[in-house]
Amino acid sequence: MILVAGIPDESPTALVIHALEAIGANVRVFDQRRVSSAHFTLDIADAAIGGAIGGGITLDGDTVPLADITGLYLRVMDDQLLPDIAALPPDSPERRRCHMFHDLLQRFADIMPGRVLNRPADMASNHSKPYQAQGISAAGFDIPDTLITNDPSEARAFIEQVWAEGGDVIYKSVSGIRSIVQTVSPADLARLDRIRWCPTQFQRLVKGTDIRVHVIGQTVLAVAISSEATDYRYAARQTGVDATLEPIDLDPGLQRLCVGLSRRFSLPLAGIDLRRTLEGRYVCFEVNPSPAFSYYEDRADVPIASCIARYLAHEAD
């Protein structure tokens, strides 16, 4: 049985549910908005039977044994932001129970046997872009020149050097929060004193064609993106013109690098952000462990949800 956990009508989750149903998989859905009618029990047996995992998840009165779950697609939002929960007082028993439910679900996802897209402990790598960049570089991809500093003079020197070489500099979060990419402008130099409070990330802008690669197990699906925006996801907002996307085939060597990268981070489902430079190099920026793949599936007609379903159902490696 395959469990899908999240908001069922959120696009990626809806596509996965539909794809699982299309292949006739035995699928159950945990709708976070209905957590008040759900319950979770997690058992770990004693060492004599090897710490077997037991317990169950009760959805609308029907209890599914955890031992029956062979696949899990996990795309949950912060439980404390669920509208019904956010409206409760901070110390309300239902808020605490909701949090414990989600905590147990995530702990189960970390240790359950079977296929999980993705395990929460492994998804945490995306909380630090430079940590990911260390792994990306070790996996064989190029990475952009990066400076993280709280020293305005170092930031200024980096920016002015890149400008002197005819390039541009972008700044973006070090963590996974507020990860909208912005280009540094001359006016920003006057604001550099603000970085004294917290190290800030600057990168040499890499020019080229954006490529989004989705790895699902051993399967690689790539999409090329054409856009004039610094961050193509916000192209309409940044330039007034939306991005255009088309599916492409990557050469086998690059496909192997992408699969190797997702394995390095223990992420059988990964959204890898590449840029093909004008010189033909592939620079990698990030490995997204919970990709909002519907954006790419809808616009480039790539069967990502179908591949996810087949992976979860053990129909594909």
Partner 1 sequence: MAASVILCHPHDAGALWLDQMLRDLGVRSFEVVTVEQVVFSRRIVYRLSDAGESSSIRLVDGRELRSDTITGLINRICYLPTQHFASADPDERTYATAELSAFMLAWLNGVRGRVLNPARPFSLAGMFDRTAMRYYAAVAGLPTAPWRATDSAGESPGLPPTHTTIVLDGRLFGPILPRHLQDGCCRLAVLLGVPLLQVAFQRAPGGGWRFVDATAFVDFYAGGRPLAAAIARAFTT
Kindly state the DSSP code that residue 217 receives in the 8-state scheme.
T
With respect to partner 1, which residue has the nearer C-beta, 172 or 310? 172
One residue of 133, 215, 254, 259 binding partner 1 per CB under 8 A: 133
DSSP 3-state of 96: helix
Contact between 144 and partner 1 by CB under 8 A: the answer reads: yes
210 burial (CB, 10 Å; 0-12 / 13-18 / 19+) is buried
- Pattern 97-116, binding to partner 1, x per CB under 8 A? xx-xx--x--x--xx-----
Q: What angle do CA 49, 118, 17 make, to 5 degrees?
A: 105
Contact status: 92 vs partner 1 (CB under 8 A): no
Is residue 276 within the footprint of partner 1 (CB under 8 A)? no
**Residue in the structure block whose two tokens are 């990626």:** 12
- Cα angle 176, 12, 231; round to 5: 45
**Considering only residues 28, 39, 156, 256, which one is a binding residue for partner 1 as defined by CB under 8 A?**
39
Vertex 308, ends 306 and 309: CA angle to 5°?
65
171 scored as a contact of partner 1 (CB under 8 A): no
Please report whether residue 138 would count as binding partner 1 according to CB under 8 A.
no
Closest CA to 71 of 289, 314, 305: 314
Per CB under 8 A, does 146 bind partner 1? yes
Residue type, 199: P
Between 168 and 239, whose beta carbon lies closer to partner 1?
A: 168
Distance CA 143, CA 136 (A): 7
Tell me how far the alpha carbon of residue 15 is from its chain's centroid: 16
- Binding of partner 1 by 140 (CB under 8 A): no
Question: Pick from 221, 268, 271: which is nearest to 246 by CA?
Answer: 221
Give φ, ψ of 153 to 5 degrees.
-70, -35
Residues numbered 197 to 256 that lie near partner 1 (CB under 8 A) are 197-200
Residue 177 or 278 having the CB closest to partner 1: 177
From the list 59-67, 192-200, 248-256, 271-279, the region that binds partner 1 by CB under 8 A is: 192-200
Tell whether residue 191 is a contact of partner 1 (CB under 8 A).
Answer: no
Among 37, 41, 185, 244, binds partner 1 (CB under 8 A): 41
The residue within the footprint of partner 1, chosen from 10, 31, 84, 142 (CB under 8 A), is 142
Size of the site for partner 1 (CB under 8 A): 57
d(CA 128, CA 135): 11
Instruction: Establish if 64 lies at the interface with partner 1 (CB under 8 A).
Output: no
Of the candidates 29, 215, 5, which has an alpha carbon nearest to the alpha carbon of residue 108? Answer: 5
Site residues (vs partner 1, CB under 8 A): 39-47, 50-51, 53, 55, 97-98, 100-101, 104, 107, 110-111, 120-122, 124-131, 133-134, 137, 142-151, 154, 173-178, 196-200
